[in-house]
Chains A and B, each alone.
Chain A
């Protein structure tokens, strides 16, 4: 059963916790509403298998459908390039976190501050910490985690869900945009 508790049980945050995403449509609506979203993809996206594909394959579909600029962290840029997808940029996860707390930063594509950050595929504790930095020091940024684990420091997070549901959620979000062409 899906639960809205931190995946790593001791990672308790405090009084402000992420809203639980009960339907993937909520994420699609937030992306549509955002003026300048950004998708941050950690190295585990190339390791996690969802059925016969890797998580990164779903994320490429999502990025293509939504046209959201992608930042690859760690050595992930190579994994994207192997799949003929060029991310907008690549940098360490702590660097992208640090830039997002700067209201004067013009964004990964130079088109202005981001108002929505989607994070996925980082080690749980690393994503947890960076989301905390963003929660406290990037007040104009909404954060959503696309992981299958509940992240209390995000603004919005899925609960702890099965791989099957995770796969399905990513598909639904992507389809909302793919259908529009």
Chain B
């Protein structure tokens, strides 16, 4: 452990020798190092420390840029036309401009998590003290902060120890952001290296935020049997006053729940949430409800269900204020980052704020004190509920049918819709009193409301979909396992060997936002498919919710069917967005706990281990945000590939390998020093899949690693071939690239595959002890 500094302030001290007034003493840094492991090579890495490692990856996975815009418009010498290999006024070319934009996105994402972490850490230190221990799993978790240990080289033991980590991330973030200024970085690959750096510090920020709240707030502590909690519109009891919390920072929700309990009204009020705040509510309070993902904001507010709407930070629609106004529900905003123009009432008396909200004198209030917020929200909810009587803003069917006649069939709604939904056709049917077409769009609609913005006659088009899907929405009653937090050390020991040898075919992390191409059912299907195939499936954020929103024939959700223990065939919900750090942490712990690789500030070696041996792949099927970009970047630097859905192509660059370039796929054999061809494993570092079928085949393929044993590779190939044949209707054409010896061939398909290998002039390959790092070679060839 190291302390950033000690600061002593003495107001007045009377001694025998005299009187001391206003004495301040500062000691720069106190090092109390109780971690026996010697410091590794890269503690607190700067922007260029891990550049060599990044470039190794970027040589294999070259960026494919797809500019969103032909221009750069970031300074006043522009706009600059960058088409046709032209450079802008500052001298920048299109590849660098694209990677600069990706870096900007990742900086936004990392800043969001780091800012979140800073806020929650300061709050928790104030409440629990700097010396509060970081217990996130008792004796089951000895490596409590694997990302922090790996990157920073420190072993945090208390809340206060995390401040140093955040200070480091904030410094790095400032440097990274400064690199995007005009006339700074100019090389696209160096920008990409900085993207990886942004991703790495993003994971640090996430880890700090989640372990701080786990250690203090009574969240499940690495618990495989975390409670099954309620999810879905239909689980919210509309007979009670309802407080809806939207966002990612659970602190204001804690204020609400604590006040409810203290004042004995917790059985009288429903507290529910949307987006990641909802996850954390259920980690704190078993009776909390998750309404759904980010996409449910408009539909839930318009339904009239919430009596008070509390907005914290991240992924919150700014128009929630306007939408809540329409249903006469007061709004309380809780974050300095999201004030929405509302008056700051933090220092006003509770009764005065409540009275103004109830009377409608003010539409909402900014309250930055979570305890006060909790009291106001509860008191207002109890009083406003009988007054507003669940007033909703969704028109009745008669009115919708009548207004449908105003539709000009101009197609503007469809052309604004990111899903290209057949809205004009549905409106034509509605004109005849038939809302079935709209009901059919309920699943695919991402709830963005752009259709309404585009409509020249102001039809409430999203409300048509919600009204048509009302019955289905009210029947949304599901179970999800509350976010369990980290993976236990003992679980890592149990699965380390079969993962690294390839006998567990892979770890599939289904994470991220809800910008799905055809609804969340695809996510549930992907999770179920791979858990059934005995992969280890891990979820977080909105994707974790979508995985719960479908039932099998017995009426059970995937979380009821698969174990929450980190093992073959599991479905593990780690928690909210910031809990993604535990997924990276699990990969790191496999290298450290199972393989006994040194962890402390030893980034390259651990990433090299993960890249070559741990068959993990991230799937962000609905990735939408800048945070998702930063999270993905953190996985890339660790050598973990990420697949996004088709909308993810709008991140405007992919990191793609070339399976047809044999020269790109050599590793060092650490045993001999030889350079050995290992095939395109994993083939890509970042790719967008067009369909769920493509994604599923790609998942199976990207789980292959050079270190797979023959048995392990045969298992992985069995899944790849089976999925390819089922979903594509044909054998994979690149099969020969993944067979190293005949023993890799699945026994049940041997004849068929051997014939293919002969046709492709296949030659047997060596299975090395793979590494990209020359320093890992144990014996240099003479």
Contacts and interface: CB of A to CB of B under 8 A. Distances in A.
A9 B454 CA distance: 10
Contacts of A169: none
Given A15-B70, A139-B84, A129 B652 contact: yes
What 9 pairs across the A-B complex have the smallest Cβ distances? A14-B70, A78-B729, A75-B693, A133-B66, A74-B690, A129-B66, A98-B64, A74-B694, A74-B691
B690 A132 contact: no
B22 interface: no
Given A13-B70, A94-B654, 6 more contacts: A7-B420, A14-B70, A95-B687, A129-B652, A136-B65, A137-B94
Interface string B663-689: 000000000000000000000000111
Interface in A130-180: 130, 132-133, 135-137, 139
A15 B730 contact: no
B418 A14 contact: no
Contacts of B81: 14-15
A126 B418 contact: no
A124 B650 CA distance: 12
Contact of A135 (B83, B652, B727, B730): B83
Nearest to A93: B690
User: Which of B70, B660, B697 has the most chain A CB atoms closer than 10 A to its own CB?
Assistant: B70
Contacts of A66: none
Interface string A51-63: 0000000000000
A93 B691 CA distance: 10
Nearest to B725: A78
Contacts of B69: 12-14
B646 interface: yes
A14 B71 contact: yes
Contact of A97 (B66, B82, B660): B66
Interface string B523-556: 0000000000000000000000000000000000
12 contacts: A8-B418, A10-B416, A15-B83, A16-B70, A73-B690, A74-B694, A77-B728, A92-B689, A98-B654, A129-B649, A136-B67, A136-B83
A82 interface: yes
A92 B698 contact: yes
B598 interface: no
Interface in A107-133: 122-126, 129-130, 132-133
Given A16-B83, A75-B727, A122 B690 contact: yes
A136 B64 CA distance: 11
B650 A129 contact: yes
A3 to B, nearest CB: 10
Interface of A: 7-10, 12-16, 42-43, 73-75, 77-79, 81-82, 89-90, 92-95, 97-99, 101-102, 105, 122-126, 129-130, 132-133, 135-137, 139
A137 B416 contact: no
B691 A77 contact: no
A126 B649 contact: yes
Contacts of B415: 7-9
A81 B64 contact: no
B572 to A, nearest CB: 28
Nearest to B517: A123
B132 interface: no
A128 to B, nearest CB: 9
A87 B295 CA distance: 38
B730 A94 contact: no
Interface in B723-782: 727-730, 733
A74 B689 contact: yes
B83 A14 contact: yes
A141 B454 CA distance: 36
B68 interface: yes
Contact of A77 (B656, B689, B729): B729
B266 interface: no
A125 B650 contact: yes
Contacts of B690: 42-43, 73-74, 92-93, 122-123, 126
Contacts of B77: none
Contacts of A79: 729
Nearest to A105: B660
Contact of B412 (A9, A81, A123): A9
Interface string B409-427: 0001001101010000000
Contact of B691 (A7, A10, A75, A89): A75
A74 B728 CA distance: 8
Contacts of B82: 136
Nearest to B647: A125
Contacts of B34: none
A129 to B, nearest CB: 4
Contacts of B650: 125, 129
Contacts of B267: none
B85 interface: yes
A8 to B, nearest CB: 6
Nearest to B659: A95
A123 B85 CA distance: 27
A137 B71 contact: no
User: Which of B660, B691, B730 has the most chain A CB atoms closer than 10 A to its own CB?
Assistant: B691
Given A98-B654, A130-B66, A136-B65, A16 B84 contact: yes
Contact of A78 (B66, B412, B728): B728
A137 B733 CA distance: 27
A94 B728 contact: no
Contacts of A82: 729
A92 B67 contact: no
Interface string B311-331: 000000000000000000000
A94 B697 CA distance: 15
Contacts of A135: 83
A140 to B, nearest CB: 12
